[in-house]
Amino acid sequence: MIRLIEQPQTLSVADVVSIHSEIYSVANFATHFKASVVVSAAASSVILATNLAGLNDMLVLFIVGSLAGLLPDLDADKSRSLNSLFSIFALCAAISLPLAIEFNSLLTIWLSGIGIYLLFMYALKPIFESYTIHRGASHSLLSVIMFAVISINTPLFLGKALPFSLLCGVMVTLGMLTHLILDECYAVDINNNELKSSFGSALKPIATSAPLASTLQLAVVLLGSYLLHPHYESIPEVIQHWQNRLSDLPLLPDLDTLKQFY
C-alpha cells in the first residue's frame, strides 16, 4: 500500500508579511493599557495643577482613566482586557457589598464576597461573551458617550459633587478614545501604503452590525441624560470654571526665572 506524503507548503515572503500584518492589525492589551496610563497621567497632572481636584480625587480619576482604556475590549472574547475588567468589577462589587449591607459575622462577609466574585466571573462573564462580537458595539463613539454618561451619574448617585463627577466622565472619555484611536492607527500599514481590513471598525459613530446592542446603548444614554436634568444649569458653570483655571495655567516656564541658572 502506497501512502502519499504531502509536501509542506512553503510560504513566500509576501505571505509571511501579510500574516504578520494581520496579526498585528490591532494594538494588544499591554499597548492599550500603557497608552491609557500615559494619557490619564497627563490629564491628572493638569487637574492637579489647576486645583480642580484634590490629591485623593486625582488618584481616583487616574485609575478610572487608566481602566477606561480597556473598556472597548469588553466585546473581545477570552481577551486579557475582558478578564482583567471583569476581575476588577467583581472585586469592587465584592468589597462594596459589605459596605452597603450590614452582615452579622466575618464569615458571612467572606462568603458573600466570594459569591459575588464567582457570580461575575463564572455566570455574568460567559453570558457577556456569548452575546458580544469583537469590534462590535463597544468599539463605537456611541459606546464612549454611554460610558461617559454612566461615569458621571454613578458618582452623583454615591453623593459626590458635580465637578468630580464630570471629571470622571472626562477621564473615561479620554481613556476610551485613546483605545479606539490606537486601534485605527494600527490598522494603517505604513510600509505597504495601504489600509488593513480592520480600518474604520473602531472609531465608527454607531455599530450598525449590532442593532440591538446599539439600541440599548442609546437607551442608556437617554436615561442617563434624563437623570442629569437637575444639573443642566450647573454643568455650564462648572465647565466655565475649568476654562478659567486652564487659561490661568502657564504652559511654558518663565524664561526670566530660568536666567538665574546660567
- Check residue 194 and give left, alpha or beta (phi > 0: left; psi -120 to 50: alpha): beta
pLDDT the model gives residue 26: 52
**pTM recorded for the entire structure:** 0.74
Q: Tell me how far apart the alpha carbons of residues 99 and 153 are, in angstroms, rounded to a whole number.
A: 20
CA dihedral defined by 17, 21, 22, 24, rounded to 10 degrees?
A: 140
CA dihedral defined by 161, 162, 168, 170, rounded to 10 degrees?
A: -150
pLDDT the model gives residue 79: 59
Q: Tell me how far apart the alpha carbons of residues 236 and 107 are, in angstroms, rounded to a whole number.
A: 48
Per-residue pLDDT of the chain (262 residues; tens, 9 = 90+): 444 444 445 544 444 444 444 444 456 777 888 899 999 999 999 998 899 998 889 999 998 999 888 888 776 655 566 777 778 778 877 777 776 677 778 888 888 888 888 888 888 877 776 666 665 678 889 999 999 999 999 999 988 999 999 999 999 999 999 989 988 887 655 454 555 555 556 678 888 877 888 899 999 999 999 999 999 999 999 999 999 988 887 766 666 665 666 5
